[in-house]
Amino acid sequence: MIKDIINQFPYILPIIEILYLLGIFFLAVRIIMDTRNTSKTLAYLLLIVFLPVIGIIIYFVFGVNYRKNKFYTFKIERNEKIYNEIQKYIRETHHKTLKNRGDELDCFVSTINFLYHAGHSPLTEENQVEVLVNGEEKFAKVFKVLQKAKHHIHLEYYIYDNDKIGNELADILIQKASEGVVVRFLYDDLGSGNIGRKLLKRLKEGEVELSPVNKITFRLLANRVNYRDHRKIIIVDGNEVFTGGINVSDKYINPNPKQYWRDMHLYIKGNGAFYFQFLFLSNWIFATEKIPQISQDYFNYKHDTPGSTIVQVAASGPDTKPSIMLSTASAILSAKEKVYIVTPYFIPVETVLNAIKQAAIAGLDVRLMVPKSGDSLIVNAAAYSYYEELLESNVRIFFYKKGFLHAKTMIVDDLLASVGTANMDVRSQELNFEVNTLVFDKVVNQKLQDVFLNDTKDCVEVVLDEWRKRPKYKSFFEHLARLFSPLI
């Protein structure tokens, strides 16, 4: 039938070809004008040229810059409204902490002030911070703290599974809601695909207020799949916070030793909770389009037993500046002795990659710990493509073999430690809603150093000469994967 139409109208095929080429041309112009990242621009141009039709679909699903969309303009406006109501406290807290503790933080002042100006994130003192290794330590502490909640519980998670841990946590949330505690729960509709309708229904019937951050109707064609809420946050009574890499899922408590998950989380009590509350309420209003009555109880400034640890929060998302990426690079460039990085996915943006190489070439002790095998063949290959140049720059690389390394931590010298949700890849650094916690404390730093050094016992160190002997076809595939790494 199509052949008959072409025979009857011989000019239709050339017209279609011309229209298609014009469409490709105007789409290429849009990509060039709309995509700030050079490598990402080139990757999308390659896609639409060498993968006709399919490449165009991939771009419109994953590549459109929705930062310019009215959808996110609404969120930015609401963020500013909340900030305007609390800016006095943020400003006073930041400058007071710098005045009281600035001498201790001299080499990191540039990073600290960047986060304050870029994202309204204040430097806070009077915090207690506890490092929680793996889900076994996290959930025991979480359940204990939640049982004591008096006013509210706020949760925001990328993955929430309908399993043993998920249901135990749900039981506590429902119990606290029945006691009159306000319970609000945000989840990522993509990451929490296994939460199930029954569990969501049980939570709703238990008077837990809940909402997906970005509702996904058709998963394969969702134009907001690109911007995932990858945060993991629990806030209790505006004073206590849990955050880090551990989602709500049984696999994080390691019921199966053969499928070991290695991860890291933080428990924070004190003024550091303030900014997490700001982030949560901003996303809650964005997701539900409802503004709750915000009282003093949501921002608890007074503490019975104030700690001495200094905390600042780096947050990124489609509604903010790339604070995590730039603060990570800034912190690395501020180092004097050492930088230890742990990440499950290493596909860094150029800014961070160059900072790491510069620190190592300058003679600092720079170490990178990554999984021996990731959970994606293409992602793993793209990460492998960076290792030779890192090794040539004197970065020491350790492959973790015991299981899947999911922690996202960074240690800078003996004072700064970062624990967060952001992987060291393009998606986390530029697209997702993410949050990292910067802790300025020698005790916390030492704890993370001890964990890092202990984990090296379950690692094999990569040697440059041996790495160069790998088959050429593997190297080619890795560099091919790297070309498309901005899209992964």
Name the residue among 261, 245, 254, 229 with its Cα closest to residue 164: 254
Which is it for the CA torsion 200, 204, 209, 211, positive or negative? positive
Question: Residue 35: which pLDDT band, with cuts at 50, 70 and 90?
Answer: low
Tell me what pLDDT residue 224 has.
46
Please indicate whether residue 229 is annotated as part of the active site: no
Evaluate whether residue 134 is within a structural domain. yes
Q: Per the residue annotation, which of 94, 138, 176, 232 is the catalytic one?
A: 232
| Cα–Cα distance measured from residue 25 to residue 35, given in angstroms and rounded to the nearest whole number | 15
| 309 lies in the same domain as 405 | no
User: In b/e form, how buried is each residue of 75-104, taking b as 16+ CB within 10 angstroms?
Assistant: beebbeebeeebeeebeebbeebbeeeeee
Q: Where are the beta strands (DSSP E) in 45-99?
A: none
Same domain for 472 and 384, yes or no, is: yes
Do residue 391 and residue 427 come from a single domain?
yes
Residue at 168 is within a domain: yes
Question: Of residues 161, 163, 237, 455, which has the active-site annotation?
Answer: 237
Average pLDDT over residues 218-245: 81
Shared domain for 260 and 287, answered yes or no, is yes
Kindly state whether residue 94 falls inside one of the protein's structural domains: yes
Active-site residue flag, 230: yes
pLDDT tens digit sequence for 43-93: 778 777 777 777 777 676 666 655 445 555 656 666 666 666 677 888 888
Catalytic residue among 120, 154, 406, 447: 406
Last residue in a domain, options 39, 63, 87: 63
Active-site residue among 413, 425, 441, 455?
413
Q: What is the pLDDT of the chain when averaged over all its residues?
A: 87
Model pLDDT for residues 367-386, shown as the tens digit of each residue: 999 998 876 778 888 899 99
Q: Are residues 44 and 103 in the same domain?
A: no
For the cut 70, the answer to whether the pLDDT of residue 203 exceeds it is yes
Q: How large is the greatest C-alpha to C-alpha distance in the chain, in angstroms?
A: 86
Instruction: State residue 223's pLDDT score.
Output: 44
Q: Among the options 408, 425, 441, 455, which is catalytic?
A: 408
Amino acid at 21: L
pLDDT reading at 131 higher than 90: yes
Asked if residue 2 belongs to a domain, the reply is yes
Domain end point (choices 278, 313, 348): 313
Query: Domain boundary residue among 63, 82, 111?
Result: 63
Q: Do 89 and 45 share a structural domain?
A: no
Task: Say whether 408 is catalytic.
Answer: yes
- Report the C-alpha gap between 225 and 218 in whole angstroms: 10
Give dist(CA 398, CA 437) in Å, integer.
24
Question: Is 25 a residue whose pLDDT tops 60?
Answer: yes
The CATH number linked to 339 is: 3.30.870.10
Domain coverage including residue 430: 323-483
Q: Are residues 391 and 287 in the same domain?
A: no
Are 253 and 399 in a shared domain?
no
Catalytic pick among 75, 176, 230, 447: 230
Kindly state whether residue 488 falls inside one of the protein's structural domains: no
Across 13-17, 26-30, 100-104, 326-330, which has the greatest mean pLDDT? 326-330
Question: Any catalytic annotation for residue 237?
Answer: yes
